[in-house]
Amino acid sequence: MPFELSQSLFEIEGHRAIELVPADLPAVQTFLESNPGYFLSAEGCPPVATQAEEELASELPEGWAFSRKHAIGFIDSNHALRAFATIVSDLFADGVWHIGLFILATDGHGRGEARLLYQGLEAWLKASGAKWLRLGVIAGNARAERFWERNGFVESRRRHGVAMRHATHTIRVMIKPLGKAGLSEYRTLVSRDCPDAP
């Protein structure tokens, strides 16, 4: 069975989070193709044939400081991939961890599974050194906006005209402080996320 021998990062209520490796690419590709909603909304097309490889191996823009990229799979008790996330640690500044993707299997929507898995992920990120969490959500994607707001994220700025394959969006850059340092301290460290940043 896929993922059976992978080391767990953490476990939460019947789910196991693992660090995905190149050998997992076929399973990740199958998962993304079976759950195309995010890509249809964000990129204006279904996942492409190289989507999993792009998500696991794509480079960050030149000049973006970071310490590591993580690709995380959430596996259920049947060894099935239920969710997929990409994380970048220490993006722009120490302690800033960026959530690139967080995709749940479509049949789990509206059942509390996403919130459960996210809670486990956030606890692991905090234990791993995250002081702030950062992500971008497409303005107008009401389900995603509500989800991240309910989980404590607040908007720091908007980026307009962001091209994503066959679509262009306004992106809400959202931040969640995990400790005593708040949003103002974050903006001091990461000035590009200030509301009036170019």
Residue 137 near residue 172 (C-beta atoms within 8 A): yes
Res 2 pLDDT > 70: no
Q: How confident is the model at residue 138 (pLDDT cuts 50, 70, 90)?
A: very high
Q: Which stretches of the chain are DSSP H helices?
A: 25-34, 37-43, 51-57, 113-127, 142-150, 183-189
34 lies in some domain: yes
119 lies in some domain: yes
75 lies in some domain: yes
Distances (CA, A) of 158 to 42, 129, 172, 191: 16, 26, 5, 13
* Residue 80 burial by Cβ neighbours in a 10 Å radius (0-12, 13-18, 19+): middle
The SS3 of residue 49 is: coil
Higher pLDDT, 178 or 6: 178
pLDDT for the residue numbered 100: 96
1 lies in some domain: no
- Give the chain's domain count: 1
Structural domain boundaries, residue 19: 8-193
CATH number at residue 144: 3.40.630.30
Beta-sheet pairing, 81-89 with 132-138: unpaired
Q: How confident is the model at residue 97 (pLDDT cuts 50, 70, 90)?
A: very high
Question: Model pTM?
Answer: 0.94
21 lies in some domain: yes
Res 169 pLDDT > 60: yes
2 lies in some domain: no
41-80 pLDDT, tens digit per residue, is 999 999 999 999 999 988 898 999 999 999 999 999 888 9
Query: How far apart are the C-alpha atoms of 193 and 198, rounded to whole Å?
Result: 9
pLDDT for the residue numbered 1: 44
pLDDT for the residue numbered 93: 96
Query: How far apart are the C-alpha atoms of 86 and 135, rounded to whole Å?
Result: 11
74 lies in some domain: yes
| Token duo for residue 103 | 């995709």
| Token duo for residue 120 | 């486990």
Tell me what the pLDDT averaged over the chain comes to.
93
What's the rounded mean pLDDT across residues 174-192?
A: 94
69 lies in some domain: yes
Query: How far apart are the C-alpha atoms of 116 and 120, rounded to whole Å?
Result: 7
